[in-house]
Structure 1
């Protein structure tokens, strides 16, 4: 399973720790928006009483629109030749807009109909995902171009995912806050008494119900994203910017009328889009990302329901406290296994490391079936280290492999198009996410879950919810490994591509 030949990383190819960390903070903001959304969105069903299928559509419809915008944003950022770079202006603007809109969309009007809430949140999510794409598309592209080195790319993605995982470490603690759990209130009372803080400040961190909790938490998250998300735009330089400027990425018309410029832009966009889709290495990685990530997304919302209604028999307060520890430990396990995945990659190559990490996660999902217990909830901690290898390996390795594919594409087509590759990858994934979100609500309905009957759900419904949570990611993970069986950019091949590129257009300087 080992690579044919290994190459050491040159000093000039190493990314300074500070820049890795700053890029990781950008990933933290990226992940925090998703993680916080996964906690807050439960208010639509349990807090506002909306049908789970309606909630699925609220999540899905904006994702379809978001998926269409992604390739357009990727093309725009590749085309930009500003004095601040191709990526940084959009990262700056996108972070601010994402934070502000996230706050506004969760300031939920009280006592409205389901039709009103459906329209309110659908429009809010659409606006949010437009802002989010303005941030995420250039941010992902920036990571692909921070180093030309095969292994340093994996080290960057390792650091990025370790820092980004912190979002999933802290957001579980939003559960007792949003649920107004007694343990949270008691803890806050002790902190305020010890620090002699004014009682009036408690309104910002202790809420009376789920809806108020969603309003308050969105303010915290939005402010953090707006302030921290701009840091990559301020402190990271674009290594391939000068090379990209020297490449004629567009085919401008001889005349310069506005109509002809628009037509030329459309032609160039679709040309780049279809060139991207013809790259077989890229499509194999997209398939792996699509399957593993959307398998996880499809069942991600089931875990809270299983913990609340099966493990804790509807005791939402105690279940929320348990979920804090469960999801925190799960996230910490992912951070812990990433260095091991990086080590696998340096020894046996990225594709083989992906196989190893995915097989380990499959074992973890299978083990989880036997660890769901309403007598001993803590058995659920046993499979978490194994399951952590799944998403840990996916985002560390596939992100690094995408950067290698960008080099392969440049050698074939003569252009740096990290924005288009990153955006089209997520375009494909988000189409799957839209389907996953739409289906996730139906999974609850198919299982037989009924929020109206309260804490005592049918045994058949509880069985099917656990079955879906375990079986779906196993199937999608197996298919993902099948998808990358013929991915052929090894370490030696990547080194050959880099040498050919540097001979052709020179080295990219930091």
Structure 2
């Protein structure tokens, strides 16, 4: 059986999914908890926090393509991408602890420490996550098998997301009652160790089957020029940027929404966070069936339109009770659970299309560029969150916020993400890699035929 079409086992899909669960310990906590940690526990102002998120992510403009190029050129008996899971898993765990540490420094020194710790975490995340995400395209090229692989991945990934979101506050309070700063540091240390073990399991249970058509020396500028010829990647960049802005703005503000708009404490916050995980898992299980039934592109359009409309319901719901908002929150995350496997399946398709179009397989650079765009969305979403809170007069570390600040939380939580989801839905309408077209492309690649030869 050809490596391009060899079927993969459920054991390998499970192991691959655990790698993303480890990544989501950092990613989900950065989206949902880190803003709250920096403003309400660490003591940064919202404006400083928002600027921190944006400035540090600028570093990814350098590190992401470099890591993608390094991964593409890696040669080992384990393949190009798997070795990095083994090398970086321990520093990755250490970075989790450092970011959630609160040193006894003056305000200026605390800002400097926050910047350095956040930079270290983003570098470690880049060094392990880009090879991990590239690994999916090296495991299989079959479109349906790849969608199944991504569905498993996003069904398992929320395990890590739950650690970094729903479980961190209860565990912190259990470890250090009355001292949430110390408790969060220890909680992230425990989750970092678990994430390290997940990456090791991913390393041991997966196999790289897809190799480049030809090997060339590392040349980042050449690979970037090749990438820019991929018109479908350019469309996905707009799609990914807008989607992540919406996801991050709403995710970052969830804690603020539950605490200040619904007037609920950490127990209900954790229930909302856990519902995010469970609903995302359930939603991801429907992605393959929905993508097969109505095509991935149409499915993604409708999922994002519905995400915009459902999210706006928060704006009109009564705030005296938290149950109505909780039900809407579940519906919204069911939709987002469907979206993630569709998104990454299309990223893999665009990588195969790029090889077919340019006769050069630059998986690491392709994934690095996509992850950079995703991180840019995270940075912009985080910055808009901090700046928006500052605009509406939110005060860091203050229990009682003004009516204007609470109104601002509600507006930012509902209207702003809806705008980004509609941009996402509009942009993906121009994506052209349908399943039929991808089957033709994979057939050409199997015969070493390319666009100029077809």
| Pair in the same fold by TM > 0.5 | yes
Structure-1 residue corresponding to 2:191? 221
1:496 to 440, 444, 450: 440
8 Å CA contact retained: 2:95, 2:121: yes
Q: Does 1:411 align with 2:378?
A: no
Q: Does 1:100 align with 2:56?
A: no
Q: Does 1:277 align with 2:228?
A: yes
1:393 to 310, 313, 338: 338
Q: Does 1:326 align with 2:272?
A: yes
2: CA distance, partners of 1:41 / 1:450: 13
Q: CA deviation digits over 1:360-401, x for unaligned, max 9?
A: 22232022222351x211111221233124432332112111
8 Å CA contact retained: 2:3, 2:140: no
1:421 to 366, 387, 399: 366
Following TM superposition, by how much is the alpha carbon of 1:409 offset from its aligned partner in structure 2, in angstroms? 1.2
Structure-2 residue corresponding to 1:143? 136
Following TM superposition, by how much is the alpha carbon of 1:209 offset from its aligned partner in structure 2, in angstroms? 1.3
2:78 to 68, 79, 84: 84
Following TM superposition, by how much is the alpha carbon of 1:10 offset from its aligned partner in structure 2, in angstroms? 11
Q: CA deviation digits over 1:26-78, x for unaligned, max 9?
A: 00000011223443552322123221111223333222112321111111111
Say which one has the larger Rg.
1
Q: Call closer, same or farther: CA 1:358–1:498 in 2, change over 3 Å.
A: same
1:463 to 391, 407, 422: 407
Q: CA deviation digits over 1:208-240, x for unaligned, max 9?
A: 312112221121122112222122222211111
Q: CA deviation digits over 1:140-190, x for unaligned, max 9?
A: 000122212111111111110010012233431322343x3xxxx5xxxxx
Q: Call closer, same or farther: CA 1:226–1:372 in 2, change over 3 Å.
A: farther
2: CA distance, partners of 1:94 / 1:394: 29
Q: Call closer, same or farther: CA 1:308–1:355 in 2, change over 3 Å.
A: same
Following TM superposition, by how much is the alpha carbon of 1:12 offset from its aligned partner in structure 2, in angstroms? 5.5
8 Å CA contact retained: 1:39, 1:175: no
2: CA distance, partners of 1:339 / 1:214: 31
Q: Secondary structure at the match of 2:257?
A: helix
Q: Does 1:72 align with 2:38?
A: no
Q: Secondary structure at the match of 1:504?
A: coil
Structure-2 residue corresponding to 1:190? none
Following TM superposition, by how much is the alpha carbon of 1:414 offset from its aligned partner in structure 2, in angstroms? 1.7
8 Å CA contact retained: 2:281, 2:337: yes
2: CA distance, partners of 1:385 / 1:39: 18
Q: Does 1:17 align with 2:15?
A: no
Structure-2 residue corresponding to 1:200? none
Structure-2 residue corresponding to 1:236? 206
Q: Does 1:153 align with 2:98?
A: no
Structure-2 residue corresponding to 1:364? 310
8 Å CA contact retained: 1:138, 1:419: yes
Structure 1: runs of 5 or more not aligned = 1-8, 186-204, 251-264, 313-317
Structure-2 residue corresponding to 1:311? 262
2: CA distance, partners of 1:415 / 1:378: 52
Q: Does 1:377 align with 2:377?
A: no
1:58 to 45, 52, 55: 52
1: CA distance, partners of 2:374 / 2:12: 27
Structure-2 residue corresponding to 1:163? 156
Structure 2: runs of 5 or more not aligned = none
2: CA distance, partners of 1:48 / 1:409: 44
413-422 vs 134-143, which moves further: 413-422
8 Å CA contact retained: 1:360, 1:386: no
2: CA distance, partners of 1:423 / 1:275: 14
Q: Call closer, same or farther: CA 1:173–1:414 in 2, change over 3 Å.
A: same
Please tell me the root mean square deviation across aligned C-alpha atoms, in Å.
Answer: 2.2
486-495 vs 29-38, which moves further: 29-38
Structure-1 residue corresponding to 2:383? 438
Q: Does 1:352 align with 2:298?
A: yes
Matches within 5 A, 1:206-217: 206-217=176-187
Q: Call closer, same or farther: CA 1:351–1:234 in 2, change over 3 Å.
A: same
2: CA distance, partners of 1:153 / 1:430: 23
8 Å CA contact retained: 2:240, 2:373: no
8 Å CA contact retained: 2:300, 2:428: no
